[in-house]
Amino acid sequence: MRLGSIEAGGTKFVCAVGDEQFHVLDRTQFPTTTPAETLAKTVAYFKQFEDELDALSIASFGPIEIRSQAPQYGYITNTPKPNWPYTDFLGTLKAALNIPIYWTTDVNGSAYGEYVALPEAQRPRSLVYFTIGTGVGAGELVNGDFLGELGHPEVGHVRLKRHPDDLDFAGICPYHGDCLEGLVAGPTFEARLGKPGVEVPLSDHVWDIMAYYIAQAAVQETLMLRPNKIVFGGGVISEPFMEKIREQFAQLMNGYAEVGALTDYLTMPVVPENGSATVGNFALAKRLLG
């Protein structure tokens, strides 16, 4: 069995071919330029494997249309990314490759990868995967299925109680200002301090503020979904920063809902090297084959 994975990010595309154990056999990546150029490269990559490829899954940046009955099912919809609004991503791939193709969001792909990477007996009934990077979002699995029928969740845009030392920061979301993404996405370091996050030591108070907001988002997920596990990926996340998030989470929750040991509940990905979405895509492609 050969399975294909497209992790379509706003900055780069990662395409891979794997086997039914979800091992990567071949992999390529290229920058996200225009839809025409980027999707042509994607198609050309998979055409090489056309004779052996059984199924494919796409985990895409969004917003995307996921309602299978909608006229624009398979499109990237009203994204702020230039050139990409209303791109028929799935249709382009289906026209070129005569195999079953699964279509979901980038964070759903990563959530599924983290789910299947666990031994079957340890797979939680409910898992949330947050990415805190250039953008912020979450994929949510309940009983092995993604939440969201009217559309996919947009957890990056929830509002939060503001940190008392951060009340003057307006946030950077073009739609909502100080929603979660507007307060903690990677580019907020430039907006707050005039330099990128990699140049800001963890001892800087801005990291406490970031941890407070991210912990609050984890509290919201906990109180709303009662998931068994919340995984955090993306460029802003590191294990020392996770410790700050866990501390803030404990303070905010104040013992209200039992979640077990925080080192098991709020974790970094188990799949190494940002590979969660690739593993998730392989598993979702395999699921299409029944």
* Footprint of a copy of itself (CB under 8 A): 63, 125-126, 138, 140, 142-143, 145, 147-162, 175-176, 178, 216, 219-221, 223-228, 252, 254-260
Residue 150 or 198 with smaller CB distance to a copy of itself: 150
Q: How far is the CB of 141 from a copy of itself (least distance, A)?
A: 12
Q: How far is the CB of 212 from a copy of itself (least distance, A)?
A: 10
Listed residue (191, 246, 239) closest to 215, CA to CA: 246
Token output for 231: 């995984």
Q: How far is the CB of 142 from a copy of itself (least distance, A)?
A: 6
CA distance 180 to 167: 14
CA distance 3 to 285: 6
Task: Tally Cβ neighbours within 10 Å of residue 111.
Answer: 28
Token output for 31: 């920058």
- Give yes or no for a cis peptide into 63 (omega within 30° of 0): yes
Q: How far is the CB of 150 from a copy of itself (least distance, A)?
A: 5
Cβ-in-10-Å burial (0-12, 13-18, 19+) of 33 comes to exposed
CA distance 276 to 287: 16
Q: How far is the CB of 263 from a copy of itself (least distance, A)?
A: 16
Residue 120 or 258 with smaller CB distance to a copy of itself: 258
Residue 138 or 262 with smaller CB distance to a copy of itself: 138
Residue 158 or 285 with smaller CB distance to a copy of itself: 158
